[in-house]
Copies of this chain bind each other. A is one copy, B any other.
Amino acid sequence: MQHQPWTTLSSQQVLDTPYLKIRREQTAVPNGPIIDDYYIIENFGWVGIVPFTEDGCFLLNRQYKHGIGLAVLEFPAGAIDPHEHEEPVLTAQRELMEETGYSAAPEDIEPLAHMYANPTGARTRIWWYLARNVRKTGEQKIDPVEVIENLLVTPKELLQMIHEGSFAVQGQVAAAYMAMERLGFLRTTF
C-alpha cells in the first residue's frame, strides 16, 4: 500500500509568536482532494529527561500548567533553544539543572527515545534521555512563572501514580515506562 506524502501547494503563516507558530497549507492529497486549510503547529521540538538517583528514586516536578489549568507531575522537560538544535542533550542537562538543581555526569546520560508529539497537527519531535546517578549539585532557578516542587519517588510509587492517573501526561507516561524497562524494573513475560 502506498503512503505517499501530500503535496504542499501553498503555505501561509497564520500565527507567528515566540510561543506558538502556526501555518495554514493548501495541500494536495494523492488520488484525493485538495485541502485548502490544513493547519500545522510549527515547533522544532522539546526534550525530556528521566532523572534517577543512586539510591533508586525518580526525580519528579509538580507544577501548575495553565494550558490544562491543573498542577501536574512530570519529569523535567522543555523546549530546545536555537543553539541546542544539534545537541538536544544540552537541553536535557539545562532543564534538569534549572528545574531541580540536580545534574548527572555526561557518561551517566543516555538517549532513551525519540518520539513524535502529534503527527496529525504538528511537526514537533521529542528527544528523551535517561540520567542515572543524578545528584543535587546546584540550585533550582527561581521564577514565579515556574513554581516547581521537586519530589523523589520509587519505581513502585511512580507506577502506582500512573495507574491512579496522577502521573498522566501522555509523553511523560511513555518515557516513564521506557525508563523503567531500561532500568530493569519491568520484564516481559513472552
Contacts and interface: CB of A to CB of B under 8 A. Distances in A.
Interface of A: 1-6, 14-15, 17, 19-20, 22, 25, 27, 29-33, 35, 37-41, 62-72, 74, 113-123, 125-126, 144-145, 147, 149, 154-156, 159, 162, 165, 168-171, 173-174, 177-178, 181, 184-190
6 contacts: A41-B41, A68-B119, A170-B170, A174-B174, A185-B189, A186-B187
A119 B14 contact: no
Contacts of A123: 67-69
Contacts of A169: 115-119
Given A33-B145, A40-B67, A171-B171, A186 B184 contact: no
Number of identical protomers = 2
Contact of A147 (B3, B162, B174, B190): B3
Contacts of A184: 189
A78 to B, nearest CB: 9
- Consensus secondary structure, chain A interface: mixed
A37 B17 contact: yes
Contact of A39 (B20, B29, B190): B20
A114 B165 contact: yes
A3 B67 contact: no
A16 to B, nearest CB: 11
